[in-house]
Amino acid sequence: MDICEYLEYFQKETWKRIEFTTNTNLNNIRETTLTENLVFSIFRIGQKQNGILIFEALDETANGNDLEIIIKKNNITYYFPTQAKIISPKSKYKYTKISHKVKSKSTFQIDDLIGYAKINGGVPLYLLYSYHHPTPNLDNYGASLVKAEYIRSKFYPTAPKTRWKIPSFNDLYPNSVPLSYLCNSNNLSLLGGTNPLPPSDNWKIINSKKEILEISNHNKTSFNPKFRIQIDLDKERYPTTNNVYKQ
C-alpha cells in the first residue's frame, strides 16, 4: 500500500471507527488517538517508500491535535498548519470542539491556528474526523480537510455578544476535500500554501530516510504542533471521488 492508497483507506476506516464507537458502549475516540494512528502508519510506509518523513517537535508541551503537513509535488512545496477536530454524533453531528477557547489568552484556537500560519507562511486547515449516519455513501469524508479561513468567515462570532454557530457535517463537507486529495496537485494548488520555507532547528526526524526539509517556527500562538508530516510525491495519483474544493 503506497501513501495515496493509505490516505484513501484511512479516511474510510476513520468513518467506520467513529461509527463503531457511536453504536457501542466504548468510550468516545479522541482526535489525538486518530492523529497518532495516522502519523504512525505514514511513518511505517515511509520506512519502505522514499520521500516520506515524519518529524516530532522538540517542545515536549506540543499538542497532539496539532500538526504540520508538507507536500512536495513538481518542485513546488505546499505547507499546511493543521488542527484535528472530531465530530460529535450525539450532538447532531456537529464539530462541538471547533469553538474551543484558549483559557490562558482568552482567544479562540482558530485565531491562533490562522495566526501561526501567517507567521510561518502556510495555509491553515482543519483535519475533520467524521461519521454521518444519514449519508453512508460519504465515507470518503471520514478524514477531510477544510480551510480554517472558511470556518472563521461562516461560523465565527461577529460581535462581542454573539456566539459561535457550531458547524455540522452537512455544513462543512461540501466545502471540504477528502484527505487523499493531498495526492492530487490540482487540489493542492486550490488549497494554496506554496511559500518558500526557511530552515529551523525545532524538529527532530523520527524516520530513517534522508533529505530533511525544515521550516522556521516563530511561534507566538497557542497552536503548537507535535508532528510534521512531509510527503514528496513523485507521481500523479487522483483519488477516486470527484469533489472539487470550493472557495
Q: Give the pLDDT confidence of 197-226 residue by residue, as tens digits.
A: 544 567 788 754 444 444 444 455 668 888
Query: What is the per-residue pLDDT for 207?
Result: 52
Write out pLDDT tens, residues 6-41: 999 999 999 999 999 999 877 788 999 999 999 999
Classified as helix, coil or strand, 119 is helix
Write the DSSP assignment of 137-184 as a string of letters. Answer: GGGGGGEEEEEHHHHHHHHS--STT------BHHHHGGG-EEGGGGG-
Predicted TM-score of the model (pTM)? 0.85
Sign of CA dihedral 149, 154, 155, 159: positive
Residue 67: which residues within 8 A CB-CB, separation 6 or more? 35, 39, 82, 83, 84, 127, 225, 226, 227, 228, 229
Q: Are strands 203-205 and 177-178 parallel, antiparallel or unpaired?
A: unpaired
